[in-house]
Chain A
């Protein structure tokens, strides 16, 4: 029997840091870290010295000073006496608005076009191909500018609605005005409003939430909860007795009656746009810049999404369709129950990066004068205060935060629909 002896204990030599694979990886990492820190220190010390030479120390005090400029597109109240920070916040909300609207529209259009590209109708398929190729191969900046120009040139000015024989009229029974300054749609008004609750007092992030809206959401949620209960009861009864009780009238009542009561109690009515003075007043004003940006971004991104969707559908082997057909499923159900759930897994990861691209491309809003965060914080504020370093760094951080949140949410969703592999 042989006895295992400990190998002779090696003394640590310096050269082992390089030649011994056990230590080498540590050495490389330490060197990399030191290199990185040296680089960072070098950049930092350069910056400090340069700023000193310019006489511009890094400070964020200017954020609390009045911005002194107006923003037309705003979700929250804001005027030119508000601070630069408030202006940046308004801009951030504008970025989020166009990003969310754009992502939704791009998905809808993209899926539609992607499916239509596979259409058996030759003309439809070809038109969709032309659309996809045109949008994918021309820079998005050009499309944004184009969309704006088309809106401005082809729609009537508010002036055209005026006079004895106006050359333009309002649409949809005089409720919607489509002009080259934007679209005016009716707004919801409450004559017995519950008022607002204010958040964050007087700070730059302050915002109001309408109690009416909260009430509507609560009632809606309650209705849906009750409807689910009723449906569950109906299912249970069906399982026990074999007869399904008639519930559609209960369901309808559950969703409409409480809502109607609430709306009447709040004095709900619509405010219609009306031509007064230079502009339409009343109603909600969707500005041209928003529409152009939204349209261009979503059509541009939709072209990419269409290709992803088409690729996803083609990636599902034909056997799946045939098997589903053999089970007796109809065409629509094959798509909904068999093809799409599988295609979704292929589609979602590239979709995430398209959503991210859309959000990042929304920074081109300055081309059409939409005041997003690049237009406020990275535009006028930076221009007026001359604090480039602070503004650009903050701008990058904001975008980084938005991007990381989007990818976090989408990755979570991706995890959920992912095929559980064994």
Chain B
């Protein structure tokens, strides 16, 4: 007999895993029915989800899209399903969606807010997606505030241009005075000259140029702003204007100068300590009292001012967080290079601190954006205000859920998108710093 001992020379083929751990069944077992508690939870959840979805979906999709009034809607429902309950009347949205989006903005000019929104995204792209977009777009970002004003309010182009010229004047003053009169004088001049320009010269000069070369588009009163556009505009203006203010406040709060520090702390804590609605009351009832007698500017501007102050306080806290998150070595490194305070801030600290703060800024923006709904309480026609105005129309008196569902949907889409972006950014920043 030859050697009959058996030595396996190759591996056995892998057996398929047991049927209960692979495929749909395995996934179900592992994720839904791993223990008996989990199984009960799963069953309860399935019942709950079925109950909610079956109601909401039939309400949403078995609905009336074309009608001229709620009564007509109800007639159609009676004719189709034999009941007026459990079916949505989207006809109101069908008729009024433009108003809910744009307020009373002239329909032939709808392209302007839309263009402003598109340009906003383009202008933000070099900041939000810095690595994918050419940095030349930053020029558009710098010009955007003036573009926004011009597109939304319309009128002569020279007004916003002259306002922008103020910054140019400041820059030139600094540039030319620096070698002649020294840093401090140049700085003061760079600050004072634009202010003088804006106060006394910009208006007449813009008027004069406009009478020679009139370039302009139809002007729109801010009273005609409304709807969802108003919420976006208020949010963008408040965040945009509060960014510089917030930086100043944050630096002030971190500063060694006691008086400056306490002024900033007082402002921030005061604003953060009171509800936005009281600040809106101030805008609608009191702000005119605080200004020189006879000054009167419209309620939307007043609300913008108060919203800006409001978000500045929150922004200051976000930026303070960014400043605190910078490693100590960055400050020391800046000092060791011999940079002075402002140079260090401008070249080293702020670029990094702001970058870290972007997720915080985005969530502040989401918060402010949601809070703009409060302006309906002081009688502005944002989406919620408009929804009550629509219900005051005899045709739609009594309609309720459809309007709120639509408003909720509008806010959800934008806020959800932004919060996703902010999460993406946080992940991206985290890998950079760990």
Contact = CB atoms under 8 A, between A and B. Distances in A.
Contacts of B376: 141
A365 to B, nearest CB: 10
Given A25-B256, A32-B260, A356-B272, A123 B415 contact: no
B79 interface: no
Given A139-B370, A366-B377, A399-B278, A18 B184 contact: yes
A48 B49 CA distance: 60
B404 A145 contact: yes
Interface in A1-57: 18-19, 25, 28-30, 32-33, 36, 43, 46-47, 49-51, 53
Contact of A138 (B281, B288, B408): B408
B281 A378 contact: yes
B290 A137 contact: no
A25 B286 contact: no
Contacts of A46: 289-293
A29 B260 contact: yes
A73 interface: no
A50 B288 contact: yes
A142 interface: yes
Contact of A399 (B41, B45, B275, B293): B275
Contacts of A25: 256-257
Given A121-B42, A141-B374, A399-B273, A136 B419 contact: yes
A392 B38 contact: no
A389 B289 contact: yes
Given A50-B293, A53-B293, A32 B38 contact: no
A2 to B, nearest CB: 29
Contacts of B97: none
B231 to A, nearest CB: 9
A28 B257 contact: yes
Interface in A131-189: 133-134, 136-142, 145-146, 149
Contacts of A264: none
A197 B293 CA distance: 52
Given A136-B419, A137-B416, A120 B278 contact: no
Contact count band on A = 35 or more
A235 interface: no
A36 B290 contact: no
A307 to B, nearest CB: 10
Given A121-B32, A141-B374, A145-B404, A399 B274 contact: yes
Interface in B367-398: 370-371, 373-374, 376-377, 384
B404 A146 contact: yes
Contacts of B21: none
B45 A123 contact: yes
B276 A360 contact: yes
A343 interface: no
Interface string B247-289: 0000000001111100100000110111111100110011011
Contacts of A364: 277, 374, 377
A62 to B, nearest CB: 16
A142 B273 contact: no
B411 interface: yes
B34 interface: yes
Contacts of A360: 274-276
5 contacts: A51-B289, A121-B31, A137-B412, A363-B278, A395-B278
The 5 closest A-B CB pairs, nearest first, are A137-B415, A122-B31, A403-B273, A360-B275, A139-B370
